Amino acid sequence: VDKVVVVGVEEVAGVGEPGVRSLSTAPEGYTGACPNYRQPAELGCFSLDSQRTFHDDGRLLRYFAPPRGWQGPIDLDVGWSVPGAYIQMDAQRAERLDHIVSWLSRHRSQGGGNWGYFVTWRGHLTKVLGTPYERREGWQLAATLFRGTRYMSEVETEAARREREMRSLRQKQMCYWGYKFEQYMTADRPGGEPDVSRPVNTNEGFCTVVRTRLAGHSLVFAGEVDCRAGERPPPSSYVELKTSREVVTPGQRFKLMKWWAQSFLIGVPRIVVGFRDDSGHVQHLQTYETLKIPKMSEEKMWNAAVSLNFCEAFLSFLKEVVTRDDPKVVYLFSWEPGADVTYRVYENSEQTFLPDWYIEQFRD
């Protein structure tokens, strides 16, 4: 029986701390010293192939292979109008944390058998870090406590779904350019040459799984990594690739912050950006050192400490609220710009997201 249990806290006995209902996201509340963030350590990796099948290994890892010397603009539009040259992941398929728990189930012993952590996708945490400054897109995060570990999985908002379904051909083309750039800049082995004649297939990905700590919170999360350069131990050898329009519009003011948050969280030290024009030609490349990005924000538009303090507060809020250790109980946290983070509790509903096979594994 699908049953929505509550809105808020007081209506349900035993859920959360009475009175803890919402969390402010205003940046003014999160200034102050930067909380400690431990250098992320890689626990392992997995790959998703062209069919989106999970593999418990790094077979889809790519290697950084930038052009040797600059031979003029890079044409990202190659193949765009060729049938079959752009294979897109099925956006209808809700994967939630399935790949991550597939990895965890095979490597449970690596955490000392005790995952008293937050488990999530890196991309979800990027959104949390951006929240104090975000003015356009809200989010929903479902959280569930199971055997002492809190799992967090994003739920697409109605607005995001509408935007996805209304995406113009032009926007799709620009996404294609981003993936084509990855092809131009990477090879399938160290020292190899890029092959830009292959179709772009967004099912494919290499993901690293890292363990880290933000103040008092232990985190285990996975994120997609574009490529590796050099021999330093991962994640220090990973490189993030981005494309950007040469002229940044006012709506993209916080782009650099989002790039910082995404790479900082997972310990990726370098971001290589291809600056392109409106015809999809990359006119120059620029490398950013992730750790130096916060100091580049000369207008004081954003502050990395605010993002991390907010994330710390959000995880503390989750620990206070998400207290029933039951995978059939899901706490859905929602946020819209200008408002506080609020939540609802669902029991035995379609919000349940940990796969049955995963839960079964703990039955003993």
Residues that bind Ca ion (CB under 5 A): 226, 241
* Smallest separation (angstroms) from ligand 0WD to the CB of 207: 6
Q: Residue 285, interface with ligand 0WD (CB under 6 A)?
A: no
Residue 243 partner contact from Ca ion, ligand 0WD, none using kind-dependent CB cut-offs of 5 to 8 Å:
none
Helix (H) or strand (E) holding 147: none
- State the Cα–Cα distance between residues 270 and 282, nearest whole angstrom: 19
* Smallest separation (angstroms) from ligand 0WD to the CB of 353: 12
Q: Per-residue string for binding with ligand 0WD, 236-275, x by CB under 6 A? A: ------x-------------------x-------------
Q: Residue 122, interface with ligand 0WD (CB under 6 A)?
A: yes
DSSP SS3 for 173: helix
Closest residue by Cα to residue 143 from 358, 363, 319, 360: 319
Give residues with Cβ within 8 angstroms of 304, minimum separation 6. Answer: 34, 257, 260, 264, 294
Size of the site for ligand 0WD (CB under 6 A): 15
Q: Residue 47, interface with ligand 0WD (CB under 6 A)?
A: no
* Smallest separation (angstroms) from Ca ion to the CB of 280: 16
Joined together, the tokens standing for residue 319 give 């620990």
Q: How many CB atoms lie within 10 A of CB 6?
A: 15
Q: Per-residue string for binding with ligand 0WD, 73-112, x by CB under 6 A? A: ----------------x-----------------------
Judging by DSSP bridges, how do beta strands 270-276 and 238-245 pair with one another?
parallel
Joined together, the tokens standing for residue 325 give 């250790």
- State the Cα–Cα distance between residues 116 and 328, nearest whole angstrom: 19
Residues that bind ligand 0WD (CB under 6 A): 48, 89, 121-123, 126, 154, 156, 178, 202, 205, 223-224, 242, 262
